[in-house]
Structure 1
């Protein structure tokens, strides 16, 4: 078991959840407020997407990221900022017998540099790197991350001095993680997020989780989470497996059956679970030291 655990709050995501809960933040100010509230509740890291304020859908507008990040940095609470770099890798095929042309409403494919434009400008301490392609949930959407794109992104992130959080959704993604490390594209101890329970990735049963844990690089610092109703049970599961935890409205909307959660409430519940297990929850300064993070900001 890990007795010194950090909590990541994934406060909004890019999924179709804003219409399902009034607590899902959409505007940059509300996203920033959610990150700040989560930090006050005990999260050391805030994982951020942004959304189009008019539609509520996931976006990759640098101006939206800038507004959210600047507000967090000006707040009177410390938190490590972790920006997604997953947007811009979305392919939605046409249905049935007509896979082409691609569905323009959901397809958004751009190159590595454009996917990292907000990271290059804002220089967060961490950004994500989704380590593979997969059929993501139902329908004809494919989360698309080719090896050449990911290597190009890893090189750019490395040059920026930003720590990549390597997102692993299935066992094959860990194979690619080992490739990146062997090729010298990851500096220091790798930071890995095991993303469980997402169709059609790794299921969130204990045996699958431990199979992935046993395939981790020897010096990896890892977290694990599950989506939906298993998010809070996975707080205990992740710590027992030797890892850290992630909660938040990106992955789960409820505190208990029928009770909608805020991000802060999910972090508070995670902290309660961990402390009841005898674990100590780490603050942002300790996480920076543990992960070897460089100071954030454009002038870092």
Structure 2
């Protein structure tokens, strides 16, 4: 059981959800506002993607990240900033020649994947620890060992804590190798990502199995998607972990009722407190996770 919980809100993601819910933020102003509102509702941390303001699709434009981060930092509302570094790994084979990239492919190297992280220097950035069949179409998310080792080395150099996002047991195995190689500073920070097609399933048994493979001393969180978001909150707290909610992973408060990020944070906080635990403030989260800005 975890009695002092870091609660992250993933405020927008990159998925095709903007046509379903008007609450999914698109512009830098809206994304920053959602991060601030999530913090006011009790979130310790905001996990941030950006979107093309014209199309609503996920973007990796460093200027958009800078705009969001500057707005959050200037707001006077404290929240730990966690920027995605997962863009730039999409491979979609051409239907005319399966050996060649087709429409939708966006593959870049490790330095470019981290351009916005170097510019903004958040406390945390995500690091997706392996390759994955992403959904039921031909999309493959690619993160090879050399790419990941280079990204880990760069974030270590900049003092940004990598959130080791793992979608199956093999990802944990590789992340542990990076820890053993000295590329990840102690304590390593894991995110057990459950329910993403076709990664690990979102069940208590799966979460427990993945937790059992984490290195000693690691901090960890987990999340589920869609209707399993809140059940996985309870499961993670029960098993000793931290939690993540937000519109990146689930757009509903209840069946047919569209949620806001603040409402999802409030619902998660209610669950956590009903279990006899409490949500940490942003500064307490920095101290617990040993992030930049932690108290000496």
Number of residue equivalences? 294
CA contact (8 A) 1:94 1:140 kept: no
Q: Among 128, 131, 139, which residue is 2:129 paired with?
A: 131
Measure how far apart 1:232 and its partner are: 1.0
User: Could you tell me which residue of structure 2 aligns to residue 101 of structure 1?
Assistant: 100
User: Could you tell me which residue of structure 2 aligns to residue 274 of structure 1?
Assistant: 272
User: Could you tell me which residue of structure 2 aligns to residue 111 of structure 1?
Assistant: 109
Q: Does 1:215 align with 2:213?
A: yes
Distance 2:93 2:259 in 1: 34
CA contact (8 A) 1:8 1:245 kept: yes
The SS at the match of 2:266 is helix
User: Could you tell me which residue of structure 2 aligns to residue 142 of structure 1?
Assistant: 140
CA contact (8 A) 2:132 2:142 kept: yes
Distance 2:224 2:102 in 1: 29
Q: Among 253, 263, 282, which residue is 1:284 paired with?
A: 282
Q: Does 1:227 align with 2:225?
A: yes
Q: Cα deviation per residue 1:186-243 (whole Å; 9 max; x = unaligned)?
A: 1120110000011110001111111001001110110000111100111101101110
The SS at the match of 1:232 is helix
CA contact (8 A) 1:168 1:174 kept: yes
User: Could you tell me which residue of structure 1 aligns to residue 166 of structure 2?
Assistant: 168
Distance 2:290 2:240 in 1: 19
What is the TM-score when the length of structure 1 is the normalising length?
Answer: 0.96
User: Could you tell me which residue of structure 1 aligns to residue 183 of structure 2?
Assistant: 185
Distance 1:83 1:251 in 2: 15
User: Could you tell me which residue of structure 1 aligns to residue 199 of structure 2?
Assistant: 201
Q: Does 1:41 align with 2:80?
A: no
Distance 1:231 1:274 in 2: 13
Distance 1:208 1:188 in 2: 25
Unaligned runs of 5+ in 2: none
CA contact (8 A) 2:204 2:232 kept: no
The SS at the match of 2:272 is helix
What is the TM-score when the length of structure 2 is the normalising length?
Answer: 0.97
The SS at the match of 2:21 is coil
Distance 2:105 2:16 in 1: 15
Measure how far apart 1:291 and its partner are: 1.1
User: Could you tell me which residue of structure 1 aligns to residue 30 of structure 2?
Assistant: 30
Measure how far apart 1:98 and its partner are: 4.0
The SS at the match of 1:251 is coil
Distance 1:136 1:171 in 2: 16
Distance 2:135 2:42 in 1: 31
Measure how far apart 1:22 and its partner are: 0.4
Measure how far apart 1:123 and its partner are: 0.4
RMSD (CA atoms): 1.1
CA contact (8 A) 1:21 1:253 kept: yes
Distance 1:103 1:283 in 2: 45
